[in-house]
Structure 1
Amino acid sequence: MHSAAYYVGAIIISAMFLQASSSDSIVVLYGETIEVPCNNGGELGDPLFIKWKYDEADGSPGAILTKGRDPGDVTIQATNSYKNRASIAANASLLITNATLEDEKTFTCMVVISGDIEEFPVVVKVQKRPSPPLIKDMAAELENGKLTTLGDCLAQDAHPPAEVIWSKNGLPLADDGTATIITTEETKDPATGLSSTSSKLQYTAKKADVDSEFTCTVKHVLGPDQTSEPRTFSIHYPTERVELQVVANGPIKEGDDVTLKCSADGNPPPTSFNFLLQGKMETVVGSDSYTLVGVTRANTGEYECSVADDHTLQDAKNISVNFLDISLDPSGEIVRAVGVSLPVTVQKNSSGDVKDNVKLDTQPNFDNLKYSDAGLYVCEFSTSGIKQSRFFRLAVQGKPNIKTISKTRVDKQHKVLTCEAEGAPKPSVEWSINGTNEESSYENGMLTHRITVVPTGNLTVACRVTNELGMDVKYIDVSYLFEDNDKRKGPGDGDDQAKLIVGIVVGLILAAAVMGLVYWVYMKKTRQGSWKTGEKESGTSEESKKLEENNHKADV
């Protein structure tokens, strides 16, 4: 093993054979470990000796460390901060921890191989990304037309220095020297050498900037761009226009609450307003609204509002209160007799055209009331958000009147008696005969009542119908025979009576024919006997005459 002195001597002797390569460069991050490659990280063969050195800012050389052929043969020569920060890697790269701006210099790797000396210089550049943008001295509000400092954006601790850009609504702002002024200043920390960039924005706001978003963006070679949170500003400007608004749910009608709202375009808005209510002045402090409670048609008219301290800034609106008056005659519960007339009148008074909607199941003729006219009658009226209805309930009354009484045979024993009558209130029914399966229906003043009976003889049955206004009765004949020979009184009796008469006539004719036939046979036999004996007929002329008369009747 050769000593380090031997290598140093060899270096001095062989200095004339020194070969230097062109410089490489690397970029490292501030605060991290610097790794400076020797021969750009390529193969070095079997070097006898390696030395890392650097050039001071004034051009004087500085030594960091040396390394012999033996891996453990490393000597730290530096006496400054590199003494504790420098080391050498297995591939001969120089390692420097906690990089600072002082490390921005040229480091040279000197390699001795078999009497030859090679040097590999590397330029180290240290960079640092700035901290996120910080906006200081932010304005609380801006004033319309006045140049105001919006804020100071700071990009701190960067190397190289960062660039600061102001934007409004995503578009960069440019310094025009009047409405927009941007002042940029760079400072360097004497201890670290890092730079901070400060950018102050002075801006002349307009009313249109009330919703504008301002941002500050920091640009740096290490990227990416860093942008502050958007900020909006309250823009102060005086009131130039006042507007009166009428706040209501749809068309205004009697009984509604109506709010008058006075809006001003100033910022901050006025806090006091005057409301002129049909000639009466009302001043409202701390609010921009006045409410009219339960308006009537008398509230129709013009209303004004103005800023309390400037009556020239005012606005006016007309308010129309809709109303509807309806009178229906008759109304409520109405009772009329059947057959009479019922006049109906409607009177309307409203603020506008009235639409009628008469809700009727049927359209009755009130000139001659019928039982079917009874019922509920509703009339609806509407105008401009108002709806009203009027009604009357009609009851048509009359004493009972039996329309028909009839019978129907069910089987050999049972018959169904039906009594139909008109009347209102609903009549009650009584039969003069007991029955079963009693059924009753009542609609539109018509009562239908049925019972099932078993006649025990030929009967005349009465149907009596009664209500509080009167009574009516009708009769019907009911036979107990299977043959329907019953006689009825009243409508529907004709068919049964006709059948009975026809039966009697047919019976009489048949009886007469039988008697005539018997008499003819008898006379014939009598005459034949006289002819056989040759005897003359005995008897008087009067008897002969009567006999001829009897023969004539028998032939008929």
Structure 2
Amino acid sequence: EETSSRTRLREGGSSAEGGLRGEKKKTCLKGTASLTALYGETIVLPCNGGAPVPNGLMFIKWKYDKDDGSPGDLLIKQARSDQATVQATDDYARRVSINEKFSLLITQASLKDQRTFTCMVVSIDSLMEYPVSVVVYKKPSSVQIMDKNEVLQKDKLTVGTCVVADANPAATVTWSKNGQPLEDNQKSVVISSSLKLDPGTGLSTTSSTLQYAATKQDAGAVFACVSTHKLINNQSALGPSSVHYPSENISLQILSQGPIIEGDNVTLKCRADGNPPPSSFFFYIKGTKTRVENSDNYTVTAISREAAGEYKCSLVDNEKMEASENIVVSYLDLSLSPSGKVVKSVGETLSVNMETSSSGDAKVLWTKDGKTMSRPEFSNLTFADAGDYSCEVSMSGLTRRQSFQLVVEGAPVITSLTARHDADGKHQVLICEAEGVPKPSVQWSINGTHEESSYTNGRAIHKITVTPKGNMTVTCNAINTLGRAGRTINISSEMSLQADRAGAGSRLFCGCIMLLHLYVHHRRGSFKTKEMGTSEESKNLKENNQAV
């Protein structure tokens, strides 16, 4: 009877299992082990965790639980056979095999393989079953953000939809902003998620839509969709974000480095804080509305004093949003009479008129030949009044200057005629000074050995060196186109001789002073002699005093 049972076991199949139940064999069912497989890969199920087979092994059989719960055969391998016999008749028939360690191999793992597989080990003494429960994981595809908005609208709920496809188990999707998780509050943050199963593969696709009410402060924010799965975590970022919002404030700027001066070109710049910034504006120039496209500035050329006042700009799509600035135009006018070259005669009068017009307080500066002076007044012109006169009027950032040249003409007038001795005392230097315009020529009634002349500001000075011979009368004549003048002076050779004598007398006087000094000195010495000196010394001193 035992021999016939072994024969049935060698034949395998269900009949063998049924036969064993009637034999004196020890049957044991181990607890179910768990195994995780990867989708599309080959599943390797160890029999009894890979433990060595028992002694007296007859065969090993793999079977599985069908969808309806009934058992299904996969394959059987006899202990003495190199080949296994595939018993499956369904899809497993082409996907199952067994290796040398009796592990079951299932190729092209799919979600349909998530079931329990059992390894039955039959030996002479026992029948053991080792069930293994298989779970198949599928890594999701990369995260994709669909319907994303590159530009966020202020206070409008919109960002994008995150899709994580073909996963098992389904991936979990969350959202973050600048690395911080976002929570659905059904107000400023609304997150809507959905799960879809593929009827053919059974894989899950998770979709999550983020609606976010952006603010101005969200400009540059980075939103990210984060996919969490048992096998892998992924994320996809959206940003940095640009937030569009309408203008809330507007300003008008006058582009000028300093005070605006009449005649300047003045540029007005209109700015609004919207994003993107407005590209068109209305400028109101002295009551006239001008539209400027694709620019935020307007230039007023050669502005006049009449153009001073209020200027405005506004948005094209919202003219109620406007800004204004007041422009002050600085101006300075100067009128001076006379001007240019003015020719007058000595003794005449000259009226100088100066008028100014300015937008502020102006400072007036008068100069003559570059030197500061008070405002000139000419009631009786003299040669000294001739010169270059300038009037300068200035205020902040603005200066006006006008000038005139005054020429005072007149016949020559000799103001001085003098004589002096030169350094050697043998010659005399005659000096004739005259005033006159045009420049007078100076003529002498005597020839000189050396002459010097100069003419400055209508004043002529002429010098000659002469050697007098006796008493002489010398005449100096000054002549120009308007007349002539003359003056005489008496000179003589005695003047030179008297000068020589005066020089000798001076020398004699100096000598006397020196002798007197010596006398006083010796007198003081004599007092000492009376007290301290010898009789011989006193005698010598007395002789000296007498000599003096």
Q: Quick one: distance in 2 between partners of 1:107 and 1:332?
A: 122
- Residue 129 in structure 1 maps to residue 136 in structure 2: no
The alignment status of 1:78 with 2:82, answered yes or no, reads no
| Offset of residue 125 of structure 1 | 1.2
Aligned positions of 1:433-444 closer than 5 A: none
The 1:278/1:132 distance shift into structure 2, 3 A limit, reads: same
State which of 92, 108, 132 in structure 1 corresponds to 2:102.
92
Contact map agreement 2:150 2:239 (CA 8 A) in 1: no
Shift of 1:191: 0.8
Equivalent in the alignment of 1:25? 34
Residue pairs, 1:507-526, within 5 angstroms: none
Partner residue of 1:164 out of 173, 183, 200: 173
C-alpha distance 227-272 of structure 1, shift in aligned 2 (>3 A): closer
| CA deviation string 1:467-502 (max 9, x = no partner) | 999897888xxxxxxxxxxxxxx9xxx9xx99xx99
State the partner residue of 2:125. 115
8 Å CA contact 2:73, 2:88 repeated in 1: yes
Mapped to 2, the partners of 1:355 and 1:120 lie a distance apart of 114
Greater CA drift, 79-88 or 183-192: 79-88
In structure 2, C-alpha distance between the alignment counterparts of 1:182 and 1:51, rounded to whole Å:
52
Residue 10 of structure 2 corresponds to: 6
- Aligned equivalent of 1:403: none
For the pair 1:291 / 2:299, whether they are aligned, the reply is: yes
State the one-letter code of the partner of 1:314. Answer: E
Q: Which whole-Å CA distance do the structure 2 matches of 1:192 and 1:286 have between them?
A: 56
- Matches of 1:70 and 1:45, distance apart in 2: 14
Corresponding residue number in structure 2 for 1:230: 239
The AA in structure 1 aligned to 2:201 is: T
One-letter amino acid of the structure 1 residue matched with residue 83 of structure 2: D
Question: 1:119-518 residue pairs with structure 2 within 5 A?
Answer: 119-138=129-148, 150-177=159-186, 180-203=189-212, 213-230=222-239, 232=241, 235=244, 241=248, 243-251=250-258, 252-264=260-272, 273-284=281-292, 287-308=295-316, 311-322=319-330, 383=396, 386=397
Percent of aligned positions that are identical = 39
The alpha-carbon distance between structure 1 residues 52 and 247, as it changes in their structure 2 partners (threshold 3 A), is: farther
Please give the alpha-carbon distance, in whole angstroms, between the structure 2 residues aligned to 1:221 and 1:302: 70
Does structure 2 retain, via aligned residues, the 8 Å contact 1:169–1:214? yes
Aligned to 2:50: 41
Partners in 1 of 2:451 and 2:8 — Cα distance?
Answer: 153
- Change beyond 3 A, Cα 1:467–1:319: closer
Structure 1 residue 188 displacement after superposition: 0.7
Q: What residue ranges of structure 1 are gaps of 5+ in the alignment?
A: 334-345, 367-376, 395-405, 408-460, 476-489, 503-556
Asked if the contact 2:221/2:239 (under 8 Å) is kept, the reply is: no
1:90-132 deviations in whole A, cap 9, x for unaligned? 4333332222111112222333455333333222211112222
Structure-1 separation of matches of 2:11 and 2:313? 102
Name the CA distance, whole Å, in 1 between partners of 2:56 and 2:453. Answer: 143
| Counterpart AA for 1:6 | R
Counterpart contact for 2:66–2:72, Cα < 8 Å: yes
CA drift at 1:42? 3.8
Unaligned 5+ segments in structure 2 are 1-5, 342-353, 375-389, 406-421, 424-448, 466-495, 509-548
Residues in 2 aligned to 1:196 and 1:233: alpha-carbon distance in whole angstroms: 30
The answer (yes or no) to whether the contact 1:55–1:107 under 8 Å persists in 2 is yes
Pairwise CA RMSD of aligned residues? 6.4
- From the superposition, tell whether residues 118 and 261 of structure 1 become closer, same or farther in structure 2 (CA, over 3 Å): same
Measured in 1, the distance between the counterparts of 2:393 and 2:38 equals 87
Q: CA deviation at 1:352?
A: 6.6
8 Å Cα contact 1:248-1:257 kept in structure 2: no
Q: Give the aligned residue type for 2:35.
A: I
2:56, 2:125 within 8 Å by CA — same for their partners in 1?
Answer: no
TM-score (norm 2): 0.57
Change (3 A) 1:471 1:209: closer
